[in-house]
Amino acid sequence: MNERQKLVQAINQETGLDIDKIDELIEIPPQPTLGDYAFPCFVLAKTLRKAPAAIAAELAVKLGRQLTDFERVESVGGYLNFFISRSSFITSTIMDVRARGAKFGSAEAPTADPVIIEYSSPNIAKPFHVGHAFTTILGHSLARIYKHLGYNVVRMNHLGDYGTQFGKLIVAYEMWGDETALQAEPIKELLRIYVKFHTEAEKDPELEVQARERFRRLEAGEAAEEALWTRFRDLSLKEFSEVYERLGVSFDNYNGESFYSNQIPAVVDLLTEKGLLESSEGAQVVRLDEFNLPPCIILKSDGTTIYASRDIAAVLYRYQQWHFAKNIYVVGTPQALHFRQVFAVLKKAGFDFADDCVHVGFGLVRFADRKLSTRSGDVIYLQDLLQEAVDKTHEVIRANAAARSLDLTEEKMSEIAEKVGIGAVTYTFLKNSRERDIVFSYEEMLDFEGDSAPYVLYTYARGRSILRKAAAEPGYSIEVSEAALLRLDTDEEFAIAKLIESFPQSVVKAAQTYEPFMVVRQITQLARAFNKFYHNEPVLSTADPELRQARLALVDAVCDVLYIGMELAGINPVEQM
């Protein structure tokens, strides 16, 4: 048990307050003079019928007696301030990391509740642009965070593979499709003929009629149309997979919009049975006045289904299939209204799981300095962004290697550049609260001293290199005694231990608020604390063997936590750079 857990347990014993509630109420005071933890006693005033200050004063004495390895407990106003003993805090923190290993920061008793996380969801035959990168990276990290906390995560890619545009693509492909181009760069070719369709249709409206007819045939399951659609879908997916592979992202399920299209009649029946469908200007809608929302269109006037009805069918399917405890949509903020409407329709239809559906929105992506090389128009392809980041990282690594006369082969450098460059992009998406717009700047992204992936990766690699050197000594053992660990008590060591100890809370908070930046920020701070420690205190050259061993154990714990944090963010650690 670490100090915080001991504290929670002691407060629970003295007050009978719920453990989770206590954990939530515990604060980290802004100034060290107010202790290492604080607990506000105001919640107890009602039940105990006493003033918070009096409660705090009484509890300070009782808890002071009970918490033997704390330095002292004080009361100030209605607050309890706890002062921990540095060395025992550092010791129990390191022992905790060593005991739990890769599971550090995960739930000790996992719930295994099913959680659906839908992310990425690009559109077939359309470029995978930087906005899709945001949902992909954010969702991937959330999936890992939830998994780490013990949930049974289902990662879904709700592909945009349905709609009238497929009728247009079929017509366009038959008229102007270039087979070789389609094989080589499918999305580029599909985009070309799609754009051509629109310019041509302006001159010849007959094309639109043909497209509608082809879409109708596709919906009816006609072989020729279905074959083409399947091809477009497969080719697009192949191209998306290259991006996913590069990012290290994967999915458990690729049910796209088309998968749900034949479930719409059941949705319509259900809404009709419940008396929720109304005609409005020829369309079938569900009114949502009581939610202060515009009506949700279920069927258009021509009887075709829309995006929202496919989403409603999808939720029903997901619930039936997985009985989710949570159904999370990582989709840009501009779609907030759409999701509010979908959830409101479900609520109105009496499905309680509507309350377990969450839309996790995010901001826009902008570019600060230069114009990024784009292949067509002003969409920025993710592949181009990744490649540019990797190339620039390669330059930096080559320069660093030359400056420090490191012996790195060209091949090794490429391998490191790939991981660091991709990590740098990932980090940029996750470093701030997700609702904030992202401004890309290579200077910031690749700043080895700033808040960046290279900074964290470099710190990790440095820690690992210290440990490698120690391990290469004859007779080295990673064992460390408690007595040795108790020798750690400097400001720098204490700062590191505090950040490690609060890491599990940041993982939980990141999950609760759908904000992976909380984990990213925590490991960045840990990297900073580590570099300060390493700058001020010797590790390998510590003369006293016991203290040296303890410091190595601290380095080891830092590396473990940085590793877990990077994994949760979807950043691939490198052992050397």
Q: Which residue numbers are catalytic?
A: 126, 129, 132
User: Considering beta carbons, is residue 330 or 577 the nearer one to ligand ARG?
Assistant: 330
CB of 126 to ligand ARG, least distance (A): 8
SS3 call for 563? helix
Stretch that binds ligand ARG, among 120-128, 412-420, 521-529, 530-538 (CB under 6 A): 120-128
Q: Which of 75, 92, 121, 502 binds ligand ARG (CB under 6 A)?
A: 121
- Contact between 88 and ligand ARG (CB under 6 A)? no
Q: Binding of ligand ARG at residue 163 (CB under 6 A)?
A: no
Residues 41-60 that bind ligand ARG (CB under 6 A): none
Sheet arrangement for strand 70-76 = 37-40, 79-84, 70-76
For the CB of residue 131, give the shortest distance to ligand ARG in the complex, in Å.
Answer: 8
329 binds ligand ARG (CB under 6 A): yes
Instruction: Give SS3 for 249.
Output: coil
Of positions 2, 123, 305, 327, contacts ligand ARG by CB under 6 A: 123
By CB under 6 A, residue 160 contacts ligand ARG:
yes
155: nearest Cα among 133, 128, 136, 131: 136
232 binds ligand ARG (CB under 6 A): no
Among 311, 451, 492, 567, binds ligand ARG (CB under 6 A): 311
Distance CA 37, CA 3 (A): 10
Question: For ligand ARG, which is the closer residue by CB, 236 or 459?
Answer: 236
Query: Residue 127, interface with ligand ARG (CB under 6 A)?
Result: no
Q: How far is the CB of 322 from ligand ARG (least distance, A)?
A: 15
Residues 540 and 466 sit within 8 Å (Cβ to Cβ): yes
Closer Cβ to ligand ARG, 121 or 459, answer by number: 121
Q: How far apart are CA 548 and CA 476, in angstroms?
A: 12
Q: What are phi and psi of 367, to 5 degrees?
A: -120, 125
User: Minimum Å distance from CB 317 to ligand ARG?
Assistant: 12
Show Cβ contacts of residue 486 under 8 Å, excluding neighbours closer than 6 positions: 87, 88, 91
Long-range contacts of 432-435 (CB under 8 A, 24+ apart): 432/517, 433/515, 433/517, 434/138, 434/360, 434/361, 434/362, 434/363, 434/514, 434/515, 434/516, 434/517, 435/333, 435/361, 435/362, 435/363
Q: Which three-class secondary structure state does DSSP give residue 57? A: helix
CA geometry: angle 369, 527, 495, nearest 5 deg: 135
Q: Where does this chain touch ligand ARG (CB under 6 A) — which range of 19-27, 83-91, 116-124, 377-385?
A: 116-124
Site string for ligand ARG, 255-294 (x = CB under 6 A): ----------------------------------------
Taking CB under 6 A as the rule, does residue 460 contact ligand ARG?
no
Smallest gap from Cβ 119 to ligand ARG, in A, equals: 9
Site for ligand ARG contains 157 (CB under 6 A): no
**Pick from 262, 246, 252, 85: nearest CA to 162:** 262
Closer residue to ligand ARG, CB minimum distance, 163 or 421: 163
Interaction of residue 139 with ligand ARG, rule CB under 6 A? no
401 neighbors 485 (Cβ within 8 angstroms): no
Interface with ligand ARG (CB under 6 A), residue total 9
**Which ranges of 177-263 would DSSP assign to H, the alpha helix?**
179-184, 186-203, 206-219, 223-247, 257-261
CB nearer to ligand ARG: pick between 118 and 451: 118
Residue from 201, 243, 285, 331 touching ligand ARG (CB under 6 A): that is 331
Residues counted in the chain: 577
User: Is there a contact between 80 and 41 (Cβ–Cβ < 8 Å)?
Assistant: yes
75: contact with ligand ARG by CB under 6 A: no
Q: Which is nearer to ligand ARG, 254 or 448 (CB)?
A: 254
Please identify, using beta-carbon distances, which residue of 122 and 565 lies nearer to ligand ARG.
Answer: 122
Phi, psi of 107 (to 5 degrees): -70, 140
The token duo for 220 is: 């009816």
For 366, the enclosing helix (H) or strand (E) is strand 365-367
Name the residue number minimizing CB distance to ligand ARG. 160
Give the one residue of 140, 144, 158, 521 binding ligand ARG; rule: CB under 6 A: 158
Task: Note the residues at the interface with ligand ARG (CB under 6 A).
Answer: 118, 121-123, 158, 160, 311, 329, 331
